[in-house]
Amino acid sequence: MKEQYTRVLSKYIPEPSVGQIVEWIIVYGVHLKITKERATKLGDFRPTRGSHRGHTITINYNLNQFAFLITLVHEIAHFSTWNTYQNKVRPHGKEWKHAFKQHMQPFLHEGVFPSDVLYNVRSYMNNPAASSCVDEGLMRTLRQFDSEHTLVLEDLPEHALFRLKTGRIFRKGEQRRKYFRCEELISQKHYLVNPLAEVEPVSEAG
């Protein structure tokens, strides 16, 4: 089992981080599943339910090695929190934040992350959020390591139509501080959208 996880994870995360991650997966008894890309999440943690097999962590296969590692540790922290508190605390409350910081600590050096990524990871870890996608600095830095360039909202001109991964279609509006104020076509309601949200251009004809 150790050799199998080591072989697989070496393809997805920085080599210096593999040993520690494999150790946690085995000691914690977590089943790791690498999945196809999902529109609404990068990864998740599912505790044992009834007769189902052990705790499961799933991670999208197409993340670059640094995003994959951060997401995986994020989910391992969910396991650690659940193992201590079950459902008695908020999913991304102070208990999870503490567990996330503890589990990220072994990787916060330039042997694992390039210096620019490390700087933004450390900044993000001061007060980690439910998703690394909400941290613009970290997200920008991580994107440069993606194997393929993805179109994001800030690449589009104002008033352009676009579709989010969820399938909802919007018209891009003006930028307000960090986010763009965009109108959803169906509801005609306005939402603030992250400038680094991945988008698909839509023609006026639909």
Reading the chain (206 residues) residue by residue, the pLDDT tens digits are 889 999 999 999 999 999 999 999 999 999 999 999 887 889 999 987 654 557 999 999 999 999 999 999 999 999 999 999 988 999 899 999 999 999 999 999 999 999 999 999 999 999 998 776 668 889 889 988 988 778 899 999 999 999 998 899 999 999 998 899 999 999 999 999 999 888 999 988 65
pTM, entire model: 0.83
C-alpha angle 88-58-96 in degrees, rounded to nearest 5: 30
Q: Are the C-beta atoms of residues 132 and 70 closer than 8 Å to each other?
A: yes
Output the pLDDT for position 74.
96
Helix, strand, coil in percent for the chain, rounding step 5: 40, 20, 40
pLDDT at 32: 94
Q: b/e string for 103-133 if b means 16 or more Cβ within 10 A?
A: bbeebeeeebbeeebbebbeebbeebeeebb
Name the residue ranges covered by the structural domains of the chain.
2-143, 153-202
Using N-to-C axis directions, what is the helix angle for 65-85 and 94-104, rounded to 10°? 130
Say if CB 66 and CB 145 are below 8 A apart.
yes
**Helix pair 115-125, 94-104: axis angle to 10 deg:** 150
Helices and strands per DSSP (H, E), number in the chain: 6, 9
d(CA 74, CA 44): 9
Q: By the 8 A CB rule, do 152 and 195 touch?
A: yes
